[in-house]
Amino acid sequence: MMQHKNIIAAYSIMILLIIAVGILQSWTIALTILNYCLISAVMTIGANIQWGYAGLINFGIMGYTALGGLAAVLVNVPPVKEAWKAGGLGMVVSLILIISGVYIIRTVLRKFENSKKKNYIVAAIIIIGFVIIRYISGPAIENIEAVDPAKTGFLGGLGLPIIFSWIVGGLFAAGIAFIVGKIALGLRADYLAIATLLIAEIIVSIIKHEDWLARGVKNVIGLKRPVPYEVDLQGSTWFIDLVEKFHSKKLDLITSLSERQDVLNQLVIDASSVYVKLCLAGLFLTVVIILLILTQKALYSPWGRKMRAIRDNEVAANAMGKNVVKEHLLIFILGSAIVGIAGAMMVTNDGLFTPGSYRPMRYTFVIWVMVIVGGTGNNFGAILGGFVVWFLWVEAAPIALFFINFFTSHLEETNALKAHLIQSAAYFRFLLVGIGLLIIMRYRPKGIIPEKINIKKI
């Protein structure tokens, strides 16, 4: 019972904080924060499945987020026909070659299982395959990138609604996670962290530098939203009527007709952006709730108990006949897929894909801080962590600025120290999050809302 009260209290405080931002700063900012909080919550659910349920450290969250973003581009952007004509064939042939290469390597590995020649044969296949693929894809890539490089220069996507990309992003991330898991999952905990981080860097650098795929660092802009656009809303009568009704008291006070019209226009502009953000928030909230229900069901199912047993004592679980390797791989794939969904949601929210922005600081370490601060092994805790840490991350600068001004109020405006501190106010977010993490790890190592396991008594 205690636990339920704690959860409700913690979430109420969080919602009050966001409402406070809405009143003190603006509703647009509050809703932007809320949307990012919800996306972060999806990411933390993914990381929490891996770390909280199974004790796997995945520092590669950045890579799966980027894959989700890539999926959004490949699903939503209409196909570039000229580019397909220029080099589509070469790329398709290369893809077929890569897939067949993987199959050949697999059969070689099966046939020569205990032979020392196996490694040399595999190496030879990889080198020959690499040369052939470079030979075929090189001119194709050049042709594709030459097609109107200022606007396209890539193959484009399928031209479907972006909402499908949430599923595709999950599938992309799951596919890559399968390969990564096969490579890295045998490693001890902290090696796994380093290995997944470095593999994620490889993934991001491929997305960044293969321009034919998603324009690389040239970014893709203008992805279509699943919700109405502000401009359309501002022109539609039903929306203006709605705003008028909503603010009727305020508007009635104004007597001059032209002034009333100006105020109404301003209100409509504000309300349209709030409305769009609310629609997105609704979509994101649906995803969070669906995932929360699924993960909670899984946690308290026989499967969840099995995962906890494996996490707490691998050797004993193995002795009881549980397949530790298989379960680890499964949970690694599931968690990564959820992170992939979050990546696609993030690109949907922004409407643009910027591969250069995928950096380990923002997309791996901050997410991990969220999971640990919120509560490992507890989904409500992980989601709360996403909210709290993201809120701090965004609001740290204004808070720091307030304190700097407060403590240096006796100094003059031209004081060098004051000017320097005000200039570096943005970096206090690192300090705040870091100290927050250290304090939580020291005094509440299980997080704000700790994991709770019901042990039935006879």
Burial (CB count <10 Å: 0-12, 13-18, 19+), residue 134 = exposed
For residue 288, give the amino acid letter.
V
Among 6, 205, 357, 405, binds other proteins (CB under 8 A): 205
191 touches other proteins (CB under 8 A): yes
- Applying CB under 8 A, which of residues 172, 365, 380, 391 lies at the interface with other proteins? 365
Query: How many chain residues bind other proteins (CB under 8 A)?
Result: 43
Subset of residues 240 to 269 that bind other proteins, contact rule: CB under 8 A? none
The one-letter code for the residue type at 38 is: L
Check binding of 299 to other proteins (CB under 8 A): no
Part in contact with other proteins (CB under 8 A); list of ranges 206-214, 281-289, 317-325, 345-353: 206-214
Q: Are the beta carbons of 66 and 203 closer than 8 angstroms?
A: yes
The mark string for 43-82 relative to other proteins (x by CB under 8 A, - otherwise) is --------------x-------------------------
Residues 6+ apart with CB under 8 A from 265: none
Instruction: Tell me how far apart the terminal alpha carbons of the chain are, to the nearest angstrom.
Output: 20
Report the alpha-carbon distance of residue 157 to residue 155 in Å, rounded.
Answer: 7
Provide the minimum distance between the beta carbon of 127 and other proteins in the complex, in angstroms, as a whole number: 10
Instruction: Please list the alpha-helical segments (H only) found in 300-313.
Output: 302-312
**At closest approach, how far in Å is the CB of 318 from other proteins?**
17
CB 50 within 8 A of CB 184: no
CA dihedral sign of residues 125, 126, 128, 132: positive
Name which position in 421, 447, 448, 449 contacts other proteins (CB under 8 A). 421
Q: Is 314 in the site for other proteins (CB under 8 A)?
A: no
Dihedral sign (CA 117, 118, 119, 125): positive
Q: Residue 437 CB, nearest distance to other proteins (Å)?
A: 4
Distance CA 199, CA 63 (A): 8
Instruction: Please pick, from the candidates 208, 224, 225, 446, the single residue that binds other proteins as defined by CB under 8 A.
Output: 208
Candidates 248, 409, 423, 454; binder of other proteins (CB under 8 A) is: 423
Residues in contact with other proteins by the rule CB under 8 A: 57, 119, 183-184, 186-191, 193-195, 197-199, 201-202, 205-206, 208-209, 361, 365, 368-369, 372, 421, 423-424, 427-431, 433-435, 437-438, 441-442, 445
